[in-house]
Chains A and B, each alone.
Chain A
Amino acid sequence: MGKKSIIPFGPQHPVLPEPIHLDLVVEDEVVLEATPQIGFIHRGLERLVQTKDYNQFIYVAERICGICAFGHSMGYAETIERLMGVEIPKRAEYLRVIWHELSRVHSHILWLGLAADAFGHEALFMHCWRLRERVLDLFEKTTGGRVIFSVVKVGGVQRDIDKATLDEFIHVLDGIKDEYEQICNAFLNEPSVYNRTAGIGVIPKADALDLSMVGPFARASAVNYDVRMLGNGAYGDLSDFQPILSENCDCYARMEVRAAEVPQSIEIIRELAAKIPDGEISVPVKGAPAIDSEACNVLEQPRGECYYFAKGNGTKYLDRMRMRTPTSQNIAGMAVALKGCDVADVNMIVLTIDPCISCTER
């Protein structure tokens, strides 16, 4: 029987892309308990909504996070549109979903790179990020930005994508696919990776439901939930959408789910690019949200379900804007997953929830 001690993990740690602190109560090499601590980068962005009008806030919303930037602007705009009863053109819905799915592709490839880095495959990490560059180039070409795009506005989108560029999207994504499969081969079939991830940080389905987990983290525990299956916006026009699930419930399953979601997103983009209707890309939105009007919205970000809430007060400034990001929901699951693991596996488990702390704290 060893002696209990506490290891402080983070907020500055090589494996952590963003600051989160964990107090790990360990006995020998086994973690008995993990207490998460966040709050190092709280910026008060929800408060800013009271001093920026509802059109300006869209640019604040996309600065919540550098990876889900597009998703936040889209989710925010959808909430305001629901609040004010605005119906946007079909073409704008399609364009939003195309960019959003492209964001998912780049986010998941980025995460795979970080995972490779976490288990010590430097070369694999570089291959992932090299591939991601090609997706970022597509963003740059269509929006002018690589991280912050600023193409969404309340009532539609700012820029259109012409047919030739959409075809180029498909061409580039098809080009990525082959290389991506090779990389996935290393992630999913390499014994050293398997040994490092399989059977680690297991959360059974019942616990995942109990802990209200969301996103690939939950789907890896066989929770059949993905906001996209609710069919909001252009997702409703997809011929078929089935969430990607895994029964293994461990770190390997989380990697498996994310790896499979990239081709799924590419297929969504392909289908929508073929179906996209012609027409306007935005409608003018006038006036202000009514007094005491309330609306909420959910959106599947790369990391999972994101919840938005807005309340109007008759002025162009909102009374309250709430963004509940996927990581805030998954922190409880992570704390439970860490119980009973080896100290050496802590970094893998923390990474597999794909933590985004700037989202969590806003």
Chain B
Amino acid sequence: MAFEMEFTPIALADLHREAAVKKTDGWRFIQTHAVNTDNGIDLYYSFMKNGRVDNLKVSGVTKDQPVPSITDLFLAAFVFENEARELFGVDMRDIAIDFAGALYAPAEFEPMTFISPEQKAAREKARKAQEAKAAKEAGASEAEAAPSGKARVFVMTPERRERLDKKLANMSPEKVAKVEAALKAREAEAASAASAPVEKAASAASEPSGQDAAPKKDVAAAQASDTAPETDYQLERAIALLDTEKAAKVREALALRAGEPVQSGEEPVSAPAISDAALEAKIALMDEAKAEKVREALAAKAAREASSKGGE
């Protein structure tokens, strides 16, 4: 016998009959409680048999809907039914021991149905965040399915160096040393990733089949440019789901990216500027540790792709 739980949705009209079925089947009544929702009150009737807890759930009960009492079947429910009436305003009928609103006699009428504006705002925000996350996940899976030309490695541009120097000026020597070390490691990574395509070029030159390399490259470029508008659309959708402050930041980052000289010339794997910008904007939204990880993953991917092409 082990503990199991389940939630079974039922209609209000079936409630009393379902409870009677549970009684004849030998289920033990556990409790009743109400939950306040946007669409009315949800009522839960819990029963147990052999370690299994079945919660019958009646959703969206409004105040003008009479709810039949189950105290004729399970007397123990009288406390909970009185409670649901007083704290949630559920219209309970025919309770065996009816306190007629004097169980708790709360100072406020139906106190459990009140949701403060702050709570409402917090819940709304959580819902939006979840939707944004779902959209992002959907976007990521689509991008994965399509062949991507997004891979790029970290390149230290003069502007970046300048910004970094400004930041370093305010840091303690130990921190500066750490940052420098991290930078060196990253550059080394970039160098190793860059060396792969060089090898590829060399092998292409030495082999007679190297002539095929040019059309292949064109196909890859065409595929990459095909994916670009789609990525752009996904990005717009993601921005639309954000709150205004964040969206403004993202747009700023995008504009900055578009204004910068296109780095594809320096990069081993060429990619359209817009997909780069989209990626950079996404990375800008992450926290530092995450962004670092993403960059690393991208560098690794680029290296992998380059080496696989080199092997062909």
Contacts and interface: CB of A to CB of B under 8 A. Distances in A.
Interface of A: 35-39, 42, 44, 46-47, 50-51, 209-213, 225, 229-232, 288, 290-291, 294-298, 305, 307, 309, 311, 313-315, 317, 319-320, 322, 324, 328-329, 331-333, 335-336, 360-361
A298 B129 CA distance: 32
Q: Is the interface of B mostly helix, strand, loop or mixed?
A: mixed
10 contacts: A39-B103, A212-B74, A225-B28, A288-B126, A307-B31, A314-B130, A315-B122, A322-B31, A329-B30, A332-B75
Interface of B: 1-3, 5, 7, 28-31, 33, 35-36, 44, 46, 48, 51, 53, 55, 74-76, 78-80, 97, 99, 102-106, 111-112, 115, 119, 122-123, 125-127, 129-130
For the complex of A and B, list the 6 residue pairs with the smallest distance between their C-beta atoms, beginning with the closest: A314-B126, A324-B31, A332-B76, A42-B104, A212-B29, A332-B75
Contact of B126 (A209, A291, A320, A331): A291
Given A311-B35, A313-B123, A317-B122, A211 B104 contact: no
Contacts of B7: 294
A298 B105 CA distance: 29
Given A332-B75, A332-B76, A324 B33 contact: yes
B76 to A, nearest CB: 4
Most buried by B among A46, A295, A332: A332
B75 A211 contact: yes
Contacts of B126: 288, 291, 313-315
A230 B2 contact: yes
A212 B55 contact: no
A121 B75 CA distance: 35
Contacts of A213: 76
A188 to B, nearest CB: 29
B97 A230 contact: no
A294 B55 CA distance: 11
A42 B106 contact: yes
A291 B128 CA distance: 11
B31 A39 contact: no
Given A38-B79, A44-B111, A307 B130 contact: no
B53 A231 contact: no
Nearest to B31: A324
Nearest to B126: A314
A15 B306 CA distance: 84
Contact of B104 (A39, A298, A332): A39
Nearest to B82: A39
Contact of A295 (B5, B75, B106, B111): B5
B169 to A, nearest CB: 35
Given A230-B2, A309-B55, 19 more contacts: A39-B102, A229-B1, A231-B2, A231-B3, A288-B126, A296-B5, A297-B3, A305-B30, A313-B123, A314-B127, A315-B122, A319-B35, A320-B36, A322-B33, A324-B31, A324-B46, A328-B79, A331-B79, A332-B76
Given A314-B130, A324-B80, A209 B5 contact: no
Nearest to A322: B33
A257 B119 CA distance: 46
B76 A329 contact: yes
Contact of A211 (B5, B30, B76): B76
B119 A296 contact: no
A319 B33 CA distance: 13
Contacts of B79: 38, 328, 331-332, 360
A307 B31 CA distance: 8
Contacts of A46: 112
A210 B26 CA distance: 9
Contacts of A35: 97
A309 B1 CA distance: 21
Contacts of B35: 311, 319-320
Contacts of A209: 28
A231 to B, nearest CB: 6
A314 B123 contact: yes
A294 B73 CA distance: 27
Contact of A309 (B44, B97, B119, B127): B44
**Which interface residue of B28, B29, B103, B115 has the most chain A CB atoms within 10 A?**
B28
A315 B116 CA distance: 14
A164 B75 CA distance: 49
B102 A232 contact: no
Contacts of A317: 119, 122
A324 B28 contact: no
Contacts of B103: 38-39
Contact of A298 (B3, B76, B115): B3
Contacts of B115: 50
A232 B74 contact: no
Contacts of A335: 97
A317 B125 CA distance: 13
A361 B104 contact: yes
Contacts of B30: 212, 298, 305, 307, 324, 329
Contacts of B44: 309, 322
B58 to A, nearest CB: 14
Contact of A230 (B1, B46, B75, B99): B1
A296 B29 contact: no
A296 B46 contact: yes
Contacts of A229: 1
Contacts of A360: 79
A313 B35 CA distance: 12
A294 B42 CA distance: 12
A288 to B, nearest CB: 7
A47 B111 contact: yes
Nearest to B47: A212
Given A296-B53, A307-B46, A314-B130, A332 B78 contact: yes
